[in-house]
Structure 1
């Protein structure tokens, strides 16, 4: 087999151009983000080998936070250290944040206009279809046997029937995985890929044989990072106290989204049910229909789907301060800051350790069960949001909205069978909602 030509290490400016571009074109959810990065970084530029890329991706799922953004931070760190990770992670989020801010302001200013309401009415069934398809895609990768199906069912039952907290479900899954590993490790065994073991990776800048200088446990740098992270986390509270009214609201908002940032394990869909239920039913920051509209808006932006939390923060500030666009904007910025700040800290502290965990069976098996639990959590999200779309007047068979049900099916067929881009589906759905309004009025 011919040895591959060695690729030169990319300069920081060259990498910066890609991270900037990625922030504006990363549509299609986590799968789309990962596909774009893999196509460019692995196939085209050969900056990182396939096995190294997958190793980073799999372990980013262990870390709380959106794994696509975590992956960009991780690879940026591998290529150019902390400045590379900061550039990759910040540029991954900023475009979607500014776009969502503009959409949120437009939403509260014009969302009550009938034809605008019709546009969002057409989007809601498509959003349900997107979530359903995401659930099945994750299930295909996560459910490998009876044990994984069992964990998914238990997770769903706990959160749907008993309103068990997400933290409890994740913690219980980890304990269960450890117990299974000790009692019957064969049940958790994952078969390695034979193709990757024989692949020639010598031509890649980063490959499975690359030694990272910062890998391993180092106490002093870790403590310095923790100290810097704590200061960055505390500083906004000083600004709240000095410059904003109702300090308790901003403190509650910041603590809530800090907490969600640390329980987002397995992707954005893991934490969204928790945020949707808690912010709607307990905190009354926004209505359930507004939450659905937030999902639709987030789907129209690049970047991670968890950016929908920024919309929740906008609506919380907007509603709490009597329809203030300024307070809504501050709420969005605060939510974005506290949602994504832990991502950088966790990667910078965790990545050096992760570089030492390649092939660790215990971590891999635990990750597998956590991902299985995610399937049950996403099913809960689907039912929680879908019931108001399909049964707007109450859950009775004769109250089913046939048009919404039909558009969910059409959306699923378009995405699954015809691989229609989500942006095109959103456009079609908005057009469908507007057409329905013009013909029969708002549904």
Structure 2
């Protein structure tokens, strides 16, 4: 971390013991939302820097406890962590503000990029740029496999869980939610026989002395009454947030019918939001296969395009689902203008994808202390994290089949196989170069995407 002179205008603000006002917190959450590039690891590190180190609004131990709880939940853990801390400081309104400001900047950028993609995707220059972006995305996913694998696969049992998850998805087509459920059950029951094999992996965001923050002081003074669990409060949260999440789904099903693209978008992404354990990379193969093979919303290479766009925007990587919803509605607009339909489809997707995250935090937050003390639940998370490595490897293989090869064929059972004669040597070379840049020379994701996009333009211009 770069140090900043104390007399510099960029110097860290002095730590304070005063509870920040809601307007002060709003400015910080807006800053985090605008700067939250780099995927979950970078976003969590940014929050740790702003909230623990710079302002000491929350202590190190409580920050890590909150993060471990968010890792137990389906959905984007970084956005849920922001929601949780905002809720601790300023109750429900603080959680809503923190969670929305983490999403909105990236969602606006993603919507604009989706419009550009829909209008000019076939333009030679844009097509050439995305040719290079696809290769870089493959490298990004491979890097995620290695990064998460180093943390999660600490013994042979965890390696076996990852291998089993990959085989179930790639070879036998077992649905993603079932793979995650079985991994969690394996960890839950396995912890009874060999708890040392299922000890939860650490998710520490920082190092150094343990800090104590404003929220910790509020807790000691008894000012966090809203964090005390009660049945009445839980029922109230359910009464508010379940309709917010599922109300649009039921309305669309009632008025548009089960076969409407709007009902399909709302239903599919609502169900996805309940099983997205392990972050965006883990669920993308599930989303891609459903969007391409089940619903026919996208062509195979377009999912890689969407992921490339999402990697360049702030906010959660799962915003790539907005791109999918945009294209799905844009290509089946009914009586609407295609761009208007696409925008509504993207907004609907974002709504049903992120609304559950607020429900999980406001409902489960008061029970966090009990959950984090449960070793068997931590063991289930450890097994799920190991399974996620196999799930992301499945995504990497899926992308490789559609980036490096121009054609695939189905043997009638098991996975699609590549047509070896259809290999695209330039795509393979770009992907290999991107992997070398990121894994060997530690090049950043952003520069790698830009360089590969420019290389795609140059290669296409040369024929």
Instruction: Specify the alignment match of 1:159 in structure 2.
Output: 169
Name the CA shift for 1:191/1:422 in 2 (closer, same or farther; >3 Å).
Answer: closer
1:426 to partner: Cα distance: 1.9
Write out aligned runs for 1:35-54 (5 A). 35-54=45-64
Name the CA shift for 1:190/1:40 in 2 (closer, same or farther; >3 Å).
Answer: same
Write out aligned runs for 1:160-199 (5 A). 160-189=170-199, 199=209
The answer as to whether partners of 1:49 and 1:208 remain within 8 angstroms in 2 is no
CA–CA distance in structure 1, aligned partners of residues 277 and 116 of structure 2:
32
TM-score normalised per structure 1: 0.91
Write out aligned runs for 1:143-154 (5 A). 143-154=153-164
The answer as to whether partners of 1:160 and 1:380 remain within 8 angstroms in 2 is yes
SS of equivalent to 2:277: coil
CA–CA distance in structure 1, aligned partners of residues 68 and 214 of structure 2:
20
RMSD between aligned residues: 2.6
Gaps of at least 5 residues in structure 1 are none
Instruction: Specify the alignment match of 1:89 in structure 2.
Output: 99
Instruction: Specify the alignment match of 2:42 in structure 1.
Output: 32
CA–CA distance in structure 1, aligned partners of residues 194 and 45 of structure 2:
35
The answer as to whether partners of 1:286 and 1:319 remain within 8 angstroms in 2 is no
Write out aligned runs for 1:266-281 (5 A). 266-281=278-293
Q: Indicate which of 424, 428, 435 corresponds to 1:401.
A: 424
1:319 aligns with 2:331: yes
The answer as to whether partners of 2:51 and 2:58 remain within 8 angstroms in 1 is yes
The answer as to whether partners of 1:64 and 1:266 remain within 8 angstroms in 2 is yes
Instruction: Specify the alignment match of 2:248 in structure 1.
Output: 236
The answer as to whether partners of 1:216 and 1:356 remain within 8 angstroms in 2 is no
Q: Indicate which of 211, 223, 232 corresponds to 2:235.
A: 223
TM-score normalised per structure 2: 0.87
Instruction: Specify the alignment match of 1:66 in structure 2.
Output: 76
Name the CA shift for 1:167/1:426 in 2 (closer, same or farther; >3 Å).
Answer: same
Name the CA shift for 1:216/1:139 in 2 (closer, same or farther; >3 Å).
Answer: farther
Name the CA shift for 1:56/1:315 in 2 (closer, same or farther; >3 Å).
Answer: same
Moved more, 176-185 or 384-393: 176-185
Gaps of at least 5 residues in structure 2 are 1-13, 409-417
Write out aligned runs for 1:329-344 (5 A). 329-344=343-358
Instruction: Specify the alignment match of 2:411 in structure 1.
Output: none
CA–CA distance in structure 2, aligned partners of residues 299 and 353 of structure 1:
33
Per-residue deviation, residues 319-377 of structure 1 (Å, max 9, x unmatched): 12277111111100100000000000011111111133334311211111110000000
CA–CA distance in structure 2, aligned partners of residues 191 and 374 of structure 1:
13
Paired residues in the alignment total: 435
Per-residue deviation, residues 177-212 of structure 1 (Å, max 9, x unmatched): 122122333332459899x9994534x223499454
Name the CA shift for 1:187/1:200 in 2 (closer, same or farther; >3 Å).
Answer: closer
Name the CA shift for 1:256/1:242 in 2 (closer, same or farther; >3 Å).
Answer: closer
The answer as to whether partners of 1:415 and 1:421 remain within 8 angstroms in 2 is yes
The answer as to whether partners of 2:88 and 2:227 remain within 8 angstroms in 1 is no
SS of equivalent to 2:72: coil
